[in-house]
């Protein structure tokens, strides 16, 4: 049984999503409207999947994603957000979210996405692929050593996803397996998250935050 | 300090204490000069000590702020009058007739200045009149000839001028406060509007979602709600991405393409701005819209268009792909021969004018345009 926590500051939307997920056989163990409540409840119930909005009552979904993963590292975060919040979504992915769905997605799409997230698969929509691709290109422009870079194959896969091709179609085009395509996609995620952690660590060392006092 | 704001008259209070110090020094000089002529020189020194002590206390009280009230100013006035009325006893009647009062008129003006700063020009002039009335009473003569004794005029003028300055300072402060309050109200209203917009957007999104699930006539309502949701989101989100405005005549290509997003048009773009010279961005966006129009017309009603924007530094690429029926091999040539490819011509023409390229590709998975424009002279 997959346990889910719904984080959204809008009560009508939050309850509707929670009800839909319950109808689809998920156990909604908690809801929260902000960063603090999400963190507190996640620490208690350790949900398998957190459905996360980006604009919250006391902050944004990026901070909430980081806060939830801090107290419940086993949880997986699925961002469910409006289409306009690109920068936030990218930051949430860098903070550890593994999927992104726009709020206009249907009930079935949401259920599929939660199921995939629970199973440890990345939920990769075309717009998220566009964001991740754009971020790698931005990092490449800064051309500092030690920045994560995409392999040619990964770039190819991301571009196909961003153009709306399904994993099956991409697999057929590249003559690889469906699973390989997903692995490539996950790899691009992992590298970004890792580089984010490396960046944070470097920042901490440069600013002396690693020492006490 | 008892007030919420710093007292706008604070600079005046400070200046008045400088005046007080100078007046005490003047009084000291006068005291040394005339002491030998006084009837009771010993008590005169004792009273002078009272004058200095009170001056010190008043200076501290006004500088720190706790003395800036009617009670303190009245007390100052009382002490001044008391010292003034001691003149005859200390100095003797003959001395009084030929001299100014013993604590000196200059020092007495301190009480007038304090009243003027605290309560404005009328209080200042009133205090001046009262002070000079007491002076006349002690002297036993009302000096009407203003040509010989300018004391009354000077004290009145000081009360008026200082009082006006204090009133102006307070009015300016009040106006600033009012302006700040208006700004705060406007900001609060904007915040409430944003919250309300967000609420309406959420409800519209929900109506759209539920409506589509129910289907039938409700689906029509769903489409209406979805359209309004997008419109309101665009309106509320104007400039919300927080990217710095590109320098010069550059536009963010993403901002030009955003309005095209919809249920059947999905945009994939970087999280940061894609700046292009304004005319290039506008033409490129127009070409993208041409391609999207084409999707609606030829790919079938259920087709979805995917737009991918890529910033490759020395060039910008926009791909427009649809998952519709595609163009069967040979169809392109037939269409071209029939002159039905006006849109294609328009897209290719626009891109050629930007020294870019436009390629059309079609297969089983749909049709794809790839538009590329070079960035000239950047970094």
Q: Work out how many domains chain B is built from and give that number.
A: 2
In sequence order, the 6+-apart residues with CB closer than 8 A to the CB of B48 are: B27, B28, B31
Option in A82, A86, A165 nearest B271 (CB)? A86
- If we measure between CA atoms, which residue out of B63, B159, B67 comes closest to residue B113? B159
DSSP letter (8 states) at residue B247: S
| Residue A6 confidence class, pLDDT cut points 50, 70, 90 | very high
Q: How far is Cα A12 from Cα B23, in angstroms, rounded to an integer?
A: 74
> What is the per-residue pLDDT across A148-177, written as a single tens digit (0 to 9) for each?
788 889 999 999 999 988 888 899 988 998
The whole-number pLDDT of residue B186 equals 84
Q: Determine contact: A24 vs chain B, CB below 8 A.
A: no
ipTM: 0.81
The whole-number pLDDT of residue B5 equals 62
Chain B residues whose beta carbon lies within 8 Å of the beta carbon of residue A6: none
More confident residue, B319 or B215: B319
Option in A104, A135, A163 nearest B308 (CB)? A163
Task: Please tell me the number of Cα atoms within 13 Å of A104 on its side-chain side.
Answer: 22
Are both B256 and B173 inside the same structural domain? no
Are both B174 and B254 inside the same structural domain? no
Q: Determine contact: A13 vs chain B, CB below 8 A.
A: yes
Option in B233, B258, B311 nearest A134 (CB)? B311
| Residue B2 confidence class, pLDDT cut points 50, 70, 90 | very low
Option in B213, B270, B321 nearest A130 (CB)? B270
More confident residue, B377 or A131: A131
Chain A residues whose beta carbon lies within 8 Å of the beta carbon of residue B225: none
CB contact under 8 A, A104 and B205: yes
The answer to whether position B120 is within a domain reads yes
The whole-number pLDDT of residue B244 equals 44
Q: How far is B202 from chain A (nearest CA, A)?
A: 6
Are both B171 and B283 inside the same structural domain? no
The answer to whether position B227 is within a domain reads no
Q: Are B91 and B99 within 8 A, CB to CB?
A: yes
Q: What is the mean pLDDT of residues A27-56?
A: 93
Option in A55, A137, A164 nearest B266 (CB)? A164
Are both B31 and B108 inside the same structural domain? yes
- DSSP characters for A155-205? HHHHHHHHTT--HHHHHHHHTS-HHHHHHHHHHHHHHHHHHHHHHHHHHHH
- If we measure between CA atoms, which residue out of A76, A178, A79 comes closest to residue A118? A76
Are both B260 and B360 inside the same structural domain? yes
The whole-number pLDDT of residue A202 equals 67
Last residue of some domain: B148, B163, B179? B179
Last residue of some domain: B128, B153, B179? B179
* Position B179 pLDDT exceeds 70: yes
The whole-number pLDDT of residue A160 equals 92
Domain span at residue B307 reads: 246-374
Q: How far is Cα A117 from Cα A102, in angstroms, rounded to an integer?
A: 15
Are both B85 and B165 inside the same structural domain? yes
* Position A32 pLDDT exceeds 50: yes
* Position B282 pLDDT exceeds 50: yes
**CA dist list (Å): B70 to A109, B17, B107, B114:** 74, 17, 19, 10
The answer to whether position B38 is within a domain reads yes
Q: What is the mean pLDDT of residues B318-340?
A: 68
**Do the strands A76-81 and A49-52 form a parallel or antiparallel pair, or are they unpaired?**
parallel
The predicted model scores a pTM of 0.59
Q: What is the mean pLDDT of residues A22-47?
A: 93
Are both B171 and B264 inside the same structural domain? no
Euclidean distance between the first and final Cα of chain A, in Å?
A: 46
* Position B164 pLDDT exceeds 70: yes
Are both B143 and B47 inside the same structural domain? yes
Q: How far is B109 from chain A (nearest CA, A)?
A: 58
The whole-number pLDDT of residue A59 equals 82
Q: How far is Cα B176 from Cα B364, in angstroms, rounded to an integer?
A: 69
CB contact under 8 A, A134 and B241: no
The answer to whether position B3 is within a domain reads no
Residue B149's SS3 state is coil
- If we measure between CA atoms, which residue out of A118, A61, A115, A114 comes closest to residue A90? A61
Phi, psi at residue A60, to the nearest 5°? -115, 170
The answer to whether position B274 is within a domain reads yes
Q: How far is A149 from chain B (nearest CA, A)?
A: 14
The answer to whether position B191 is within a domain reads no
Q: How far is Cα B162 from Cα B160, in angstroms, rounded to an integer?
A: 6
Residue labelled with tokens 């991301």: A158
Domains annotated for chain A, with CATH where assigned, are 3-123 (3.40.50.2300), 127-206 (1.10.10)
CATH number, domain at B287? 3.30.565.10
The answer to whether position B155 is within a domain reads yes
- DSSP characters for B108-136? HHHHHHHHHHHH-HHHHHHHHHHHHHHHH
Q: Are B310 and A137 within 8 A, CB to CB?
A: yes
Are both B98 and B19 inside the same structural domain? yes
The whole-number pLDDT of residue B1 equals 40
CB contact under 8 A, A162 and B205: no
Q: What is the mean pLDDT of residues A181-201?
A: 79
* Position B246 pLDDT exceeds 50: no
- If we measure between CA atoms, which residue out of B110, B118, B105 comes closest to residue B163? B118
Are both B173 and B309 inside the same structural domain? no
> What is the per-residue pLDDT across B22-39, written as a single tens digit (0 to 9) for each?
999 999 999 999 888 888
Q: Per DSSP, what are the bridge partners of residue A99?
A: A78, A123
């Amino acid at each position: 049984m997959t346990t889910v926590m719904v984080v959204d500051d809008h009560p009508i939307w939050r309850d509707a999503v929670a009800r839909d997920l319950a109808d689809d056989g998920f156990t909604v163990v908690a809801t929260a409207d902000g960063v603090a409540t999400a963190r507190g409840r996640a620490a208690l119930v350790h949900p398998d999947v957190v459905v996360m909005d980006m604009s919250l009552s006391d902050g944004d979904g990026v901070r909430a994603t980081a806060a939830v993963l801090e107290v419940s590292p086993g949880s997986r975060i699925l961002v469910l957000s409006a289409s306009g919040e690109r920068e936030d979504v990218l930051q949430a992915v860098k903070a550890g979210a593994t999927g992104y769905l726009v709020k206009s997605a249907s009930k079935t799409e949401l259920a599929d996405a939660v199921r995939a997230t629970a199973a440890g698969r990345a939920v990769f929509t075309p717009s998220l692929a566009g964001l991740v691709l754009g971020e790698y290109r931005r990092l490449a422009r800064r051309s500092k050593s030690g920045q994560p870079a995409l392999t040619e194959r990964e770039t190819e896969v991301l571009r196909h996803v961003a153009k709306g091709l399904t994993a099956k179609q991409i697999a057929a085009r590249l003559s690889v397996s469906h699973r390989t395509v997903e692995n490539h996609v996950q790899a691009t995620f992992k590298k970004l998250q890792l580089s984010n952690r490396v960046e944070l660590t470097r920042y901490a060392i440069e600013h002396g935050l690693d020492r006490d006092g | 300090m008892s007030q919420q704001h710093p007292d706008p008259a604070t600079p005046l209070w400070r200046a008045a204490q400088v005046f007080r110090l100078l007046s005490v020094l003047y009084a000291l000089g006068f005291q040394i000069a005339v002491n030998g002529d006084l009837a009771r020189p010993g008590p005169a020194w004792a009273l002078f000590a009272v004058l200095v002590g009170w001056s010190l206390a008043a200076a501290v009280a006004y500088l720190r702020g706790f003395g800036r009230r009617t009670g303190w100013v009245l007390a100052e006035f009382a002490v001044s009058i008391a010292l003034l009325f001691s003149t005859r006893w200390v100095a003797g009647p003959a001395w009084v007739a030929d001299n100014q009062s013993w604590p000196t008129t200059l020092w007495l003006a301190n009480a007038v200045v304090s009243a003027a700063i605290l309560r404005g020009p009328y209080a200042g002039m009133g205090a001046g009149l009262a002070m000079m009335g007491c002076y006349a009473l002690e002297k036993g003569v009302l000096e009407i000839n203003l040509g010989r004794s300018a004391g009354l005029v000077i004290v009145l003028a000081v009360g008026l001028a200082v009082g006006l300055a204090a009133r102006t300072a307070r009015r300016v402060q009040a106006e600033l406060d009012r302006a700040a309050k208006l700004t705060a109200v406007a900001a609060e209203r904007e915040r409430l509007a944003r919250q309300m917009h967000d609420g309406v957007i959420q409800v519209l999104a929900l109506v759209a979602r539920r409506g589509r699930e129910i289907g039938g006539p409700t689906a029509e309502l769903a489409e209406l709600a979805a359209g309004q949701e997008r419109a309101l989101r665009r309106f509320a989100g104007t400039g919300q991405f927080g990217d710095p405005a590109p320098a010069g005549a550059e536009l963010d290509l993403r901002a030009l393409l955003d309005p095209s997003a919809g249920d059947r048009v999905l945009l994939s773009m970087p999280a940061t701005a894609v700046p292009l010279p304004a005319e290039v961005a506008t033409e490129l966006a127009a070409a993208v819209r041409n391609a999207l129009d084409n999707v609606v017309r030829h790919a079938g009603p259920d087709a979805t268009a995917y737009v991918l924007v890529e910033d490759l530094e020395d060039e910008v690429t926009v791909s427009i792909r649809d998952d519709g029926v595609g163009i069967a091999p040979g169809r392109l040539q037939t269409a071209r021969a029939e002159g039905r490819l006006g849109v294609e011509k328009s897209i290719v023409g626009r891109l050629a004018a930007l020294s870019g390229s436009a390629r059309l590709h079609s297969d089983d998975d749909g049709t794809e345009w790839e538009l590329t424009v070079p960035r000239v002279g950047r970094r």
